[in-house]
Structure 1
Amino acid sequence: MATINFYLDKSDKKGLAPIHLRINCSGTQIKLATGQKIDPELFDKKRQRVKGITIEATETNHYLNFLNERADELLHHSNKKTFSQDEIKDILNQHIDGYRENHTVNIVKEQISLYGKPFTFIDLFAGAGGFSEGFLQAEVNNKFFDFIAASDINENCELTHIVRYNHQLGLNAEFLKQDITEPDFLDNLLQKIGNKKIDVVCGGPPCQSFSLAGKRKKFDKKDDLFSHYLEVIKILQPKYFVMENVKGILTKENGKIKDLIIQEINSIVDNKEIPVLVSFIRKMKSDKNSFLLESIIKRVEIEKLRDAEIEIGREEFIRFVDNRFKQLTPKIADYKTSKTDSRINTIRHGFNILARTKEWEKLKRDIIKEKDFCNIDSDAFVETFTTFLTHIGSESVIEQIEFAFKGLKVPSNYIKDCSDIITALKIYTNSFDETLDILLNLCSEKEKSELNKILDSIRLYKIEKPLVANASNYGVPQNRERVLFIGCRKDQKFISEIPPTVKENEKVTIFEALYDLDFIGNNQEAHHYELVNISKQYNGTAEKMKSLLKKRTIDGKENSKTGKSFAEWSRGGRLIERYQPKTKPFYVRNFEGLQKGEKYFDILNNHKTSNQNDDVIKRLEIILKNGDYKKAQCEIDDCGLTSNKRNYNVLKPDEQSSTIMTIPDDYVHYNSPRALTVREMARLQSFDDSFVFQGKRSTGGNNRKTEVPQYTLVGNAVPPLLARAIATEILKNIK
């Protein structure tokens, strides 16, 4: 049994003594310099730790504890039982170097343009940072991206961002931890961005209600996030924006959601062109329905308003229509009816509700948050909440107003006036595109031709249809299909596809991605790489397995001369030279640990297996032997190992994985009866090994609503190599 302790060497001229690590084992002694110096009076020889509770003492003691843990793990808990002195020194010195490097750099550095042309981007709904990673990997003809800011609602997303981009890469990219639906989100985002012009906005609103795999809930708080995303686009007006989502969004409600998104993108207008449109409509007013045309003008002019002005503009619109109704009331109802009739009151009070849309939307947002927090779903409460939330929506209020009009006995010569009021209210809730459809119906053929020319210049973004991208076509060892809505500003080149970087027969396999990590078993954690001997591990099939290993370019193309294996790319990193890490990767448990300097500088991070009981391991062995969960069901039942779990995905080493989700137990490793580690799932997503996922490893139950642990960070991320392909295509076209 080896002993591990710390001691002080001789003091230097300043009176500070170096702290050394000493290992004694079977008469052999190994000494290592920790890189720390201390006043000998502050060292407790009995405890072998620094005295006091200062920040410096706490951080140094954490570092010594960390080295003690890693030395103990290496000598007493490693799969490998025999080490040379040089091997022990090499492994422990890598941990020590990580600490030294972190304490000799300026953590935050300005992103100075060292070469080429930088374009700016921000990452919304950033999660772990898959988009950010891919954009920082991209470079075309000395053009590259500067990372300005990211946003998400979860603390662990923020922690992972700060450690990766501010500490490890030394960038000054900001992070905004706030719900995008909150009223002051845009103000706070603009404050983070400062006076910088944003060229590209990327993000994937987590629309769970659109997901094929998730629950479809009405009034889920995530339902309408894409419209808030587009509000950011309207303000920033970037050259390009990318919105990523699950494939199910294409077929949701028979394609209506997809059409709505395209319509909303087409409704983003160039404010400079609005006066031209308004002038055109004013010319039409002389011989057309002036009330409806004035309503359209007011609706169009709302497009150029911002923040608080929008609410004023909306209220003025409703008051304009309300005044029209007040003028009409004496003509369609006598005095007594106008004061007591419930239908007249419904119309009148409906206008009051619509005029206070902002207040009702805030109330609606708060109720949805509370509903979600209380887990109201599939119960006796859900219908009541849904009914109320539906009734306070503008569309429902207008429906009630329309129903009330129909119930009135309106003289025939005023029916059209009533109908125009309803149309005007629908204009209020319409998208810009829907409003233009109404305008087109009021135009003559000659006017339509003139209007269409104006509309060509007023639409700020060009988009024809969403793209479907499979991550495996871009060097990712995973069949993950995602839908991309790419908006191209009218002064930029149109992007209609993201060309694949690999052919069908050269896609990266699971074995290529994971083979060098296959040295741990059940309930184990590794903090450094170990050599994997394929010949010994696979015996009769070793040659077949070795044949799966290919030399490739960064994006997956086979290149036997100068390429690297996928594992080598993962271990060495894919970032362009400008963004090479300034410190060694490290892990912290939480923000408090980051503030106290309680950092874990490991050579390999996030590589820990779950502690699965004997029954689970036996079940997984049967599934692995059969190669499929369904095929294994009978044998599992016969062995008394039946599980309520619906499915296990058995990884096939010579194929790509299915879509990586957030629960590791859904997958069975291709060579061992166990679930995947966070690092293995990250490899299947194409994250570099230097990207460390922070915070808790996993969570369960209701905690999944508020916590985003490592597995969730990985599973929800955009694969960086897919993001890199998108960023590369943008750099090829951006002006």
Structure 2
Amino acid sequence: MATINFYLDKPDKKGQAPVYLRINCNGSQIKLSTGQKIAPVQFDKKKQIAIGPKMEAIEFNHYLNFLRERADELLHNSNKRTFTQEEIKETLNQHIETYKGHNSIQIVKEQISLYGKPFAFVDLFAGAGGFSEGFLQAEVNNKYFDFIAASDINENCELTHIVRYNHQLGLEASFLKQDITEPDFLDNLLEKIGDRKIDVVCGGPPCQSFSLAGKRKKFDKKDDLFSHYLEVIKLLQPKYFVMENVKGILTKENGKIKDLIIQEINSIVDIKEIPALVLFIKKVKVKHDSFLFESIVKRVEMEKLRDGDLELSREGYIKFVDNRFKQITPKIADYKTSKTDSRINTIRHGFNILARTKEWQKLKRDIIKEKDQCNIDSDAYVDTFNSFLTKISPDNVIVEIETAFKSLKVPNEFKNDCEDIISALKIYISTFDETVDLLSSLCSESEKNELSKILESIRLYKIEKPFVVNASNYGVPQNRERVLFIGCRKDQRFISDIPPTVSEKEKVSVFEAIYDLDFIGNNEEAHHYELVDISKQYNGTAKKMKNLLKKRSASGEQNSKSGKSFADWSKEGRLIKRYQPQTKPFYVKSLQGLEKGEKYFDILNNHKTSNQNKDVIKRLQIILNNGDYRTAQSELEKCGLASNKRHYNVLNPEAQSSTIMTIPDDYIHYNSPRALTVREMARLQSFDDSFVFQGKRSTGGNNRKTEVPQFTLVGNAVPPLLARAVATEILKNIK
């Protein structure tokens, strides 16, 4: 058993004594300089801690404790049982040198334009930062991307962003930790962006947020996130925007959701062209002299407004329609009826509700948050909550107003007036496209032709249809199919596909991606790389396994002359020179730990296996031997090891993995009866090893609703190499 402690050497002229790490084992002694100095009066030799000023002492003691942990791990918990003194010194010196690199950190240092043309991007629903990472890897003809801001609602997303982009890469990229549905989100995002013009917005609103207007019966925190994403697009009007989602979005509700998304994107207008459309509507209105045309004008003019001005405009619109109702009320009902009839009151009070839409929307958000907080779902309460939230929605209020109108006995000469009021209310909740469709129906053939020409110039974004991409076509060792919607501003070149960067034969295999990490067993954690000898591990199949290793360029395509293996690229990093790390990768447990300087500078991060009991290991071994969970079922039952778990994915070393999700126990390593580590899952997602996932490693139960631990960060991310391919295609086309 080795003993590990620290001692001070003789103080220098400034009174600072060098601190040394000392290891005694079997009569031998190893001494290593920690690279730190301290005044002897500030060091408690007995407790082996610094006792100086609070902040400095905390960080100093954290560093000493870190070195003690790594030395203890190496000597007492390593797979290797014997070490030479030189091997111990070399490994520990790597940790010490990594920490020394931290001394030159300049947090949030100013970005200096070294070369080329930068295009600014913003990452929404950013999660770990897969889109951001891929965009920072892209470069075409000296064009590249500047990272301006990201947003998500979770603290661990924020922590991972701050460590990676502000501390490690030294960028100024801001992070907004806020729900995109909150009223002041856009203002806060603009504050983060400052005076920068945003060229590209990327992000993937969760698929739960897509539903048909007026058809939604389930209200949760993910409701309507897509429309709020589009509000950001309308505000920033970037040259391109990219929206990523699961493949199922194409067939959700028989494809109606996909059509709705396209319709909403096509409804984003160029506000500079609004006056021309308004002028046209007013010209047509002269011929018809219709209240309905005035309603259309007011609705169209809303497209150029936002926030407070938009709210005032909406309120003014409802008052405008309400005044029309007040004018005809004496003509359709006598005085007594107008004051007491429930149908008239339904119409009148409906206008009151619509005029206070902002207040009702705030109430809706608060109720949904409380509903989610109390886990109200699949119980006796859920229908009551959902019924109320449905009742207060503007579209439902308008349905009630329409029903009340229809049940009134309105004289024939005023029926058109009542129908116009109902139509005006429907215009209020219509998309821009629905509004112009109504306008077109009221026009003559010649007017329709004129309108079509105006609409060609007023639509801000070009998009025909979404398209499916498979991450494995872009150098990612994973069959992960995703749908991309790419909106191209009308002054930019159209993008309708992302060309593959690797051929079918060039695709990266699982073995190629993670073979060099296969030196870890059950319930173990590694903080540095160890040599993996393929010849010894695979014996008779070593030649076949070695043939799986290919030389590649950073983006994945094979390059036998100057390429590197996928594993080597992962270790070296794929970022362009402009964004090379300014300090070594490090891990912190929380934002509080970051503030205190409690950083763990390891050579290898996030490489820890789960602590699985003997029965689980036996179960995994049987499944691994059979090569498939279903095939193994009968043997598992015979051995009394059957599980209620729905599925296990046995990795095939010679192929790509299935879609990486957020639960590590869903996967079995191809060579060992164990689950994957965060680092192995990150490799299968194409994250570089220098990208450290922060905070808790995993979570369970109800905590999954609010926490985003490392495994979730990895599983939910856009693969960086896929994002890199998207960014590259944009750089090829952007003006």
TM-score by structure 2 length?
Answer: 0.98
Q: CA deviation at 1:105?
A: 3.0
Q: Percent identity?
A: 80
Q: Aligned partners of 1:660 and 1:317: how far apart in 2?
A: 49
Task: Give the SS at the match of 1:507.
Answer: coil
Query: Which residue is equivalent to 2:680?
Result: 680
> Helix, strand or coil: the match of 1:346?
helix
In the alignment, structure 1 residue 129 sits paired with structure 2 residue 129: yes
Aligned pairs for 1:309-388 within 5 A: 309-388=309-388
Q: Separation in 1 of the partners of 2:430 and 2:86?
A: 72
Matching residue's letter, 1:721: L
Alignment check: 8 A CA contact 2:516 2:567 kept: yes
Q: Distance in 2 between matches of 1:9 and 1:296?
A: 83
Q: Is the partner of 2:331 in helix, strand or coil?
A: helix
| Residue 636 (structure 1) aligns with | 636
Q: Is 2:714 aligned against 1:714?
A: yes
CA distance in 2, matches of 1:328, 1:631: 75
Report if aligned partners of 1:207, 1:223 keep a CA contact under 8 Å in 2.
no
Letter in 2 for 1:639: C
Provide the residue aligned with 2:415 in structure 1. Answer: 415
In 2, are the aligned partners of 1:475 and 1:502 still within 8 Å (CA)?
Answer: yes
Q: Aligned letter for 1:336? A: K
In the alignment, structure 1 segments of 5+ residues that lack a partner are none
Q: Distance in 2 between matches of 1:52 and 1:208?
A: 53
Tell me what 2:292 maps to.
Answer: 292
Give the secondary-structure state (helix, strand or coil) at the position aligned to 1:665: helix
Does the CA contact (< 8 Å) of 1:474 and 1:502 recur in 2?
yes
2:16 matches 1:16:
yes
**Deviations 1:239-269 (Å, cap 9, x if unpaired)?**
1111111111111111111111111111111
Could you tell which deviates more after superposition, 642-651 or 331-340? 331-340
* Counterpart position of 2:152: 152
The letter of the residue matching 1:500 is: P
Q: Shift of residue 210 of structure 1?
A: 5.7
Conserved 8 A contact 1:697-1:709: yes
Task: Rate the CA distance shift 1:550–1:680 in 2: closer, same or farther, 3 A.
Answer: same
Deviation track 1:611-636 (CA, whole Å, cap 9, x = no partner) reads: 01111111111111111111111111
What code does the residue aligned with 1:221 have?
Answer: K
For 1:408 and 1:650, locate their aligned partners in 2 and report how far apart those are by CA, in whole Å.
67
How far apart are 1:53 and its partner, in Å? 5.7
For the pair 1:605 / 2:605, whether they are aligned, the reply is yes
SS in 2 for 1:398: helix
User: Alpha carbons of 1:447 and 1:408: their partners in 2 closer, same or farther (altered >3 Å)?
Assistant: same
Alignment of 1:412-561 (within 5 A): 412-561=412-561
Q: Give the Cα separation in 1 of the matches to 2:60 and 2:118.
A: 39
Matches within 5 A, 1:639-650: 639-650=639-650
Q: Distance in 2 between matches of 1:568 and 1:297?
A: 61
What is the alpha-carbon distance in structure 2 between the residues aligned to residue 159 and residue 509 of structure 1? 31
How far apart, CA to CA, are the structure 2 residues paired with 1:570 and 1:402?
62
Map of 2:401 onto structure 1: 401
d(CA) in 2 for partners of 1:137, 1:116: 14
Equivalent position amino acid for 1:538 in 2: Y
RMSD (CA atoms): 1.3
Structure 2 residue aligned with 1:191: 191
| Cα deviations by residue, 1:373-422 (Å, 9 ceiling, x for unpaired) | 11111111111111111111111111111111111111222222211111
How many angstroms apart in 2 are the aligned matches of 1:609 and 1:388?
Answer: 47
C-alpha distance in 1, partners of 2:180/2:67?
42
Please give the alpha-carbon distance, in whole angstroms, between the structure 1 residues aligned to 2:265 and 2:234: 9
Q: Is the 8 A contact 1:210 1:248 kept in 2?
A: no
- Report how far residue 575 of structure 1 moved: 0.4
Which whole-Å CA distance do the structure 2 matches of 1:444 and 1:334 have between them?
Answer: 39
Task: Please give the alpha-carbon distance, in whole angstroms, between the structure 2 residues aligned to 1:539 and 1:105.
Answer: 46
Give the deviation of 1:82 after TM superposition.
2.1
For residues 141 and 388 of structure 1, the distance between their equivalents in structure 2, rounded to whole angstroms, comes to 56
Shift of 1:574: 0.3
Kept after mapping to 1: 8 A contact 2:105/2:167: no
**8 Å CA contact 1:7, 1:19 repeated in 2:** yes
Give the Cα–Cα distance (whole angstroms) in 1 for the partners of residues 34 and 617 of structure 2: 41
For 2:668, give the aligned amino acid. Answer: V
Q: Residue in 1 aligned with 2:85?
A: 85
* Conserved? CA contact 1:469–1:482, under 8 Å: yes
Give distance in 1, aligned partners of 2:557 and 2:247.
26
CA distance, structure 1, for counterparts of residue 641 and residue 388 of structure 2: 47
* 3-state SS of paired residue (1:504): coil
2-structure distance, mates of 1:711, 1:550:
28
Say which is worse superposed, 24-33 or 551-560, in terms of deviation: 24-33
Aligned-residue offset at 1:24: 2.2
- What is the DSSP-based 3-state SS (H/G/I as helix, E as strand, rest coil) of the residue aligned with 2:286? coil
Residue aligned with 1:285, SS? helix
Contact 1:209 1:217 in 2 (8 A): no
Q: CA deviation at 1:52?
A: 4.1
Shift of 1:217: 7.6
2:724 is aligned to 724
Q: 1:320 to 1:662 in 2, by over 3 A?
A: same
**What is the rounded CA distance, in whole Å, between the counterparts of 2:546 and 2:124 in structure 1?**
41
The answer to whether the 8 Å contact 2:217/2:390 transfers is no
Cα deviations across residues 345-370 of structure 1 (Å, max 9, x unaligned)? 11111111111111111111111111
CA offset digits 1:432-454 (Å, max 9, x no partner): 01101001101111111111111
Question: Cα distance, 1:229 vs. partner?
Answer: 0.8
Pairing 1:605-624 to 2, within 5 Å after superposition: 605-624=605-624
CA drift at 1:315: 0.8
CA shift, 1:324, in A, is 1.1
CA distance in 2: counterparts of 1:421 and 1:217, whole angstroms: 27
1-structure distance, mates of 2:636, 2:648: 13
Of 42-51 and 392-401, more deviation after overlay is shown by 42-51
Distance 2:223 2:513 in 1: 35
Question: Post-superposition shift, 1:289?
Answer: 5.3
Q: Which amino acid aligns with 1:260?
A: L
Tell me the residue number matched to 2:570: 570
Whether contact under 8 Å (2:518, 2:532) holds in the other structure is: yes
The answer to whether the 8 Å contact 1:685/1:719 transfers is: yes
Deviation readout 1:43-71 (Å, 9 max, x if unpaired) = 11222221246111111011000000001
Cα-to-partner distance string for 1:605-663 (whole Å, 9 max, x where unaligned): 00000001111111111111111111111111111112111111111111111111111
Aligned equivalents of 2:71, 2:684: Cα separation in 1: 30
Q: Relative to structure 1, is the Cα distance of residues 541 and 217 closer, same or farther in structure 2, using a 3 angstrom cutoff?
A: farther
After superposing the two structures, state which structure 1 stretch, 194-203 or 44-53, moved more: 44-53
Shift of 1:343: 0.9
Bigger CA drift: 18-27 or 320-329?
A: 18-27
In the alignment, which residue of structure 2 is the partner of 1:102? 102
Contact 2:571 2:690 in 1 (8 A): yes
Which runs of 5 or more residues in structure 2 are unaligned? none
Shift of residue 25, structure 1, vs aligned partner: 2.4
Structure 2 CA distance for aligned equivalents of residues 360 and 168 of structure 1: 44
Does the 8 Å contact 2:209/2:224 carry over to 1? Answer: no
Instruction: State the SS of the aligned residue for 2:104.
Output: coil
The residue identity in structure 1 corresponding to 2:169 is L
Give me the TM-score of the superposition, normalised by structure 1.
0.98
2:669 counterpart letter in structure 1: H
In the alignment, the residues of structure 2 paired with residue 488 and residue 549 of structure 1 have an alpha-carbon distance, to the nearest angstrom, of: 38
Amino acid at match of 2:69: E
Shift of 1:117: 0.5
Residues 286-317 of structure 1, C-alpha deviation per residue, up to 9 Å, x if partnerless? 22252111000000001111210111100111
Tell whether the 8 Å contact from 1:210 to 1:246 is kept in structure 2 after alignment. no
CA distance in 2, matches of 1:322, 1:596: 59
Mapped to 1, the partners of 2:208 and 2:255 lie a distance apart of 16
Match of 2:659 in 1: 659
Shift, 1:28, TM fit: 2.8
- Residue equivalent to 1:698: 698
Q: Report the secondary structure of 2:304's partner residue.
A: coil
- Shift in Å, 1:532: 0.7
Question: Structure 1 210/423 Cα, relative in aligned 2: closer, same or farther at 3 Å?
Answer: closer
Q: Distance in 2 between matches of 1:634 and 1:528?
A: 40
Residue type of the alignment partner of 2:277 = L
Q: Which residue of 2 aligns with 1:76?
A: 76
Match of 1:55 in 2: 55
